[in-house]
Structure 1
Amino acid sequence: MPEPANHTCVGAIAGAFGVHGEVRLKSFCADPAAIASYAPLVSESGQSFGVRLLRPITGAFAARLTGVLTREQAEALKGTRLYAPRDRLPPLDEDEYYHADLIGLTVFDTGGAKLGTVRAVLDHGAGDILEVARPGAAEILIPFTLAAVPTVDLAGRRIVVDPPAESAD
């Protein structure tokens, strides 16, 4: 289902936690605990949830969502993405971007040749990496650094990259 208009995905329900309707809530926020402050969160189907974090657990939080009272209800929500209205999210500094804003942008090299489209923004702990899908070719991975990505033009829906030689193959 499509992302709700003017919303950004801030987390997902990874399944039930316990027997009283608690969920395992994965946060996609820079400050993971901030997810509760953006509530109520909405699902792709339009269902709205208040959020109360109970405690951190490995890779997520044990949380209570309004209206979720049983383990069966919590388990039925597994895989549900949760969205916050964009205006509730914190403002960004210059040269900072929400991942959702980068996905789908057209990528060009410094010579103006189209390379592809940003499919994902990956973060494996050492910094963000742009995954660029190319028609008829293998995707390329580009470090999201100022040296490798000198221009991000959100209004123009484009990114200019100067990838390291090993990324450009």
Structure 2
Amino acid sequence: MSADRVCVGALAGAFGVNGEVRVKSFCAEPEAVADYGPLWSEDGTRRFALTLTQPIKTGFAARIDGVATKEDADALRGIRLYADRDALPELPEDEFYHADLVGLEVRDTGGAVLGRVRAVLNHGAGDLLEVAGPELGEPVLLPFTQEAVPTVDLASGRIVADPPEGLFPDG
């Protein structure tokens, strides 16, 4: 995926029998997923014009140009939706798009390399950085809080972490 696009949602199959799709939004304001269009597939080969029709339990029901049947909608299940970065709002200094954090090197406050951010996860209680590295064995989930991650330097591609005691193995 191009660095010029950011994942803003995913298609979750059909909603009803008339070609509507279920959309899961990854946006801070969930309904904004339709504002950043057109949206693209991860490989950039498909373009989607999305119109939200109603909120539903798992996100939104929506219409997509060219999708007219339940079968058409079900065929789109699992497609992640990407918006052009220049269509997204400018973020305040202390906020980041998840896509910008993935791949950053993570160092402790003493400068030792802990690993790299492999993913940003949120299971409802706040963001977690999945940090992986050759010294870790299993990935470590680092809370993405000001206390545990005091510095994010996108320009240098680095995060400085002050993880809770015992979270990372002693090197």
TM-score (norm 1): 0.93
Deviation at 1:149, TM superposition (A): 0.7
Superposed CA deviations along residues 8-31 of structure 1, whole A, max 9, x for unmatched, are: 010111111111111111110000
CA–CA distance in 2 between the matches of 1:5 and 1:59? 28
Question: Counterpart of 1:34?
Answer: 32
Question: Counterpart of 1:61?
Answer: 60
What are structure 1's unaligned runs of at least 5 residues? none
CA–CA distance in 1 between the matches of 2:92 and 2:50? 27
Q: Is residue 15–residue 77 contact of structure 1 (8 Å, CA) maintained in 2?
A: yes
Question: Counterpart of 1:163?
Answer: 163
Residues 5, 105 of structure 1: CA spacing in aligned structure 2 closer, same or farther, 3 A cutoff? closer
- Tell me the SS of whatever aligns to 2:13: strand
AA partner of residue 69 (structure 1): A
AA partner of residue 77 (structure 1): L
Residues 139, 152 of structure 1: CA spacing in aligned structure 2 closer, same or farther, 3 A cutoff? same
Q: Write out aligned runs for 1:18-167 (5 A).
A: 18-45=16-43, 46-135=45-134, 137-167=137-167
Deviation at 1:115, TM superposition (A): 0.8
- Tell me the SS of whatever aligns to 2:138: strand
CA–CA distance in 2 between the matches of 1:146 and 1:18? 43
What are structure 2's unaligned runs of at least 5 residues? none
Instruction: Figure out how many residues of one structure are paired with residues of the other and give that number.
Output: 167
- Tell me the SS of whatever aligns to 2:139: strand
